[in-house]
């Protein structure tokens, strides 16, 4: 049957109207997609399949396309190095002399620190393993600041891992796939980083706004910061390790404290992804909940006496009596004997006695 | 192009090829390159194309292509999915609605409309970002992207001049 024979063949719908209807449908679909995408997913592994696939495709494409630019830059740098070798040599010699003095100071300080740690029994952070990556794409607009690195799940990268350049903190990983990781920059409008002022130990939240210098929000303390103060990660919340260099505090044109990022000193082409796991990631919460509370130290005055339930009030008084006598040859066995039943009660009813004790 | 007006306009010519060109240009500008310590600007290459598509003729494929371009930008730039699709569809719809007013207007009036479309796109982006993150983007960076997009008007004009009269039904 030809089109001319079709009874609907003569039906003509105005194109303007149909285009308008399609536009409305597409707009509604786009709004629905936007509403279903939540930036809160940055904190989880729910990066999304479309993004994962796109990143997987974009990483090698960006890597290949950026190669000529990278090689040209290295060539230009080589030529510049050749022509400015003498002045560079002088500068490096001066820097080396200075560094030698600091090396001696550092060795002395390291020895002192080790002694203090041994005396105090201080448990320091373990070394953090790293993965080196190259940045292959870079978005730097006002509404999104993120970069794609060419190392992913195969190197052990996980969402939340901090990312550093040779100069300082760059951001953190928000999405991982095989061979690619999406890095949310400190300057992104959705980025929030707990930081501290090195000089005063004052805490603040570094808030990105799409510009080159993120803001210091929720700055606590009077005169907590002055221009030129070093800003480091505070480690609060466990997302970043403590003490990573972030930048230098400056007063912005808008009168707010901002940070000139240390990573801006040089192009961020190679980065180190710290395979850092914070306490909340390492800890086995289920095992912690099941763990028995250790017995109270005999004779310790800081621990409150266990508050037994009312029906067992008669059995409770002997416990402090056995614990309070001064430690003697005969006192030790009763103390442990009295302490052994104590953990059993808090182990099952550990949260219960505490709220009961607080009102007292 | 003589005789070309007698045929319906093939979608791949005025929709497909510009879309690919926009994707290529956006990827090129997303490469991590610096010149004298300064990074490349980040213009919205998709905007002149979306503006031109709305001016050239109403089409059922047009909004779909605009949405696809927006989703591509979201994936490449790391914005929330649907963000750029909405930001680009809004000026597309406005220009499509005012298409009859734009017909036969001077070049200056076209530029004013294009500037208005850019303001609408970036304004929508600003508002959506504020709602999403409860944080206002830096106005200077927004202005920088606005200016970088404004200077792309010649590309929109070129696309309009090439295809505006290509389909006799919409002359």
B85-101 burial string, b = 16+ CB within 10 Å, else e?
A: bbbbbbbbbbbbeebee
Question: Which one of A69, A145, A147 has the shortest CB-CB distance to B33?
Answer: A69
Position A332 confidence tier, pLDDT thresholds 50, 70, 90: very low
Least Cα separation, residue A92 to chain B (angstroms): 22
For tokens 């044109």, the residue is A253
Residue of B nearest to A50 (CA): B75
Least Cα separation, residue A240 to chain B (angstroms): 21
Residues A308-321: what's their mean pLDDT?
A: 46
Residues A252-269: what's their mean pLDDT?
A: 88
- CB contact (8 A) between residue B58 and residue A15: yes
Position A347 confidence tier, pLDDT thresholds 50, 70, 90: very low
pLDDT, tens digit, 9 for 90 and up, residues B34-92? 777 777 889 999 999 999 999 998 889 999 999 999 999 999 998 999 999 999 999 99
Domain chopping of chain B, boundaries: 11-27+44-166
- CB contact (8 A) between residue B31 and residue A51: no
**DSSP at B12:** I
A233 pLDDT more than 90: yes
In terms of pLDDT, which residue wins out, A347 or A124?
A124
Question: Which one of B81, B93, B138 has the shortest CB-CB distance to A27?
Answer: B93
On chain A, the residues whose CB falls within 8 A of the CB of B82 are: 30-37
Contacts of B14 by beta carbon, 8 Å cutoff, 6+ apart = B53, B56, B159, B162, B163, B166
Q: Give residue A128's pLDDT.
A: 85
Distance CA A91, CA B127 (A): 49
Give the CATH number of domain A131-282; options: 2.60.120.10, 1.20.1250.20, 2.40.10.340, 2.102.10.10.
Answer: 2.40.10.340
Domain chopping of chain A, boundaries: 16-78, 131-282
Element of type H or E holding B19: helix B17-29
Q: Give residue B11's pLDDT.
A: 84
For residue A174, give both structure tokens: 């928000």
Distance CA B83, CA A32 (A): 10
Residues A8-37: what's their mean pLDDT?
A: 83
- CB contact (8 A) between residue B145 and residue A142: yes
- CB contact (8 A) between residue A50 and residue B75: yes
Question: Which one of A35, A61, A184 has the shortest CB-CB distance to B27?
Answer: A61
Q: Give residue B2's pLDDT.
A: 42
Number of inter-chain CB pairs under 8 A, A vs B:
167
Nearest to A169 by CA among A231, A235, A245, A239: A245
Note whether A75 contacts B: Cβ–Cβ < 8 A: no
8 Å CB contact between A129 and A275: yes
pLDDT, tens digit, 9 for 90 and up, residues A264-280? 887 778 999 999 876 66
Q: Give residue B32's pLDDT.
A: 85
On chain A, the residues whose CB falls within 8 A of the CB of B42 are: 139-141
Distance CA A127, CA A115 (A): 19
ipTM, interface predicted TM-score of the complex: 0.88
Position B108 confidence tier, pLDDT thresholds 50, 70, 90: very high
Q: Give residue A235's pLDDT.
A: 87
8 Å CB contact between A55 and A49: no
Q: Give residue A324's pLDDT.
A: 37
Q: Give residue B61's pLDDT.
A: 92
Residues A127-155: what's their mean pLDDT?
A: 90
């Amino acid at each position: 049957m030809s089109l001319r024979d079709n009874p609907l063949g003569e039906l003509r719908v105005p194109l303007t109207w149909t285009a308008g209807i399609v536009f409305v449908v597409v707009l509604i679909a786009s709004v629905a997609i936007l509403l279903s995408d939540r930036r809160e997913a940055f904190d989880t592994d729910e990066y999304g399949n479309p993004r994962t696939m796109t990143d997987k495709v974009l990483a090698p494409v960006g890597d290949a396309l950026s190669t000529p630019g990278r090689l040209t830059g290295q060539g230009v740098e080589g030529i510049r190095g050749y022509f400015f070798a003498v002045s560079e040599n002088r500068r490096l010699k001066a820097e080396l002399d200075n560094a030698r003095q600091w090396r001696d100071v550092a060795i002395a300080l390291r020895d002192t620190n080790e002694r203090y740690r041994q005396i105090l029994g201080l448990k320091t952070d373990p070394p953090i393993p790293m993965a080196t990556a190259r940045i292959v794409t870079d978005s730097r607009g006002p509404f999104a600041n993120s970069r794609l690195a060419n190392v992913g799940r195969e190197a052990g990268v996980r969402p939340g891992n901090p990312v550093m350049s040779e100069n300082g903190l760059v951001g953190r990983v928000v999405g991982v796939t095989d061979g690619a990781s999406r890095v949310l920059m400190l300057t992104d409008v959705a980025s929030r980083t707990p930081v501290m002022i090195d000089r005063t130990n004052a805490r603040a939240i570094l808030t990105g706004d799409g510009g080159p210098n993120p803001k210091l929000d929720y700055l606590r303390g009077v005169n907590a910061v002055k221009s030129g103060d070093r800003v480091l990660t505070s480690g609060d919340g466990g997302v970043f390790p403590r003490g990573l260099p972030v930048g230098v505090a400056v007063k912005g044109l808008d009168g707010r404290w901002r940070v000139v990022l240390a990573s801006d000193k040089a192009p961020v082409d190679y980065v180190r992804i710290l395979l850092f796991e914070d306490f909340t990631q390492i800890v086995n919460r289920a095992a912690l909940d099941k763990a028995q509370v250790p017995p109270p130290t005999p004779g310790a005055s800081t621990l409150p006496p266990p508050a037994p339930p009312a029906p067992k009030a008669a059995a409770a008084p002997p416990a402090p009596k056995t614990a309070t006598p001064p430690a003697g040859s005969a006192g030790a066995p009763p103390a442990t004997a009295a302490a052994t039943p104590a953990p059993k009660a808090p182990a099952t009813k550990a949260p219960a006695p505490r709220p009961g004790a607080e009102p007292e | 192009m003589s005789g070309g007006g007698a045929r319906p306009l093939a979608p791949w010519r005025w929709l497909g090829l510009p879309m690919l060109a926009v994707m290529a240009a956006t990827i090129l500008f997303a490469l991590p390159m610096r010149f004298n310590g300064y990074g490349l600007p980040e213009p919205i290459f998709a905007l002149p194309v979306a503006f031109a598509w709305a001016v050239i003729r109403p089409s059922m494929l047009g909004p779909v292509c605009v949405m696809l371009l927006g989703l591509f930008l979201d994936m490449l730039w790391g914005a929330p999915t649907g963000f750029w699709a909405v930001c680009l569809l809004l000026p597309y719809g406005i220009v499509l609605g005012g298409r009859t007013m734009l017909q036969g207007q001077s070049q200056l009036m076209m530029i004013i409309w294009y500037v208005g479309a850019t303001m609408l796109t970036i304004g929508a982006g600003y508002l959506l970002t504020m709602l999403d993150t409860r944080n206002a983007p830096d106005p200077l960076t927004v202005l920088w992207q606005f200016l970088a997009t404004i200077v792309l008007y010649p590309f929109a004009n070129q696309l309009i001049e090439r295809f505006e009269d290509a389909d006799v039904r919409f002359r």
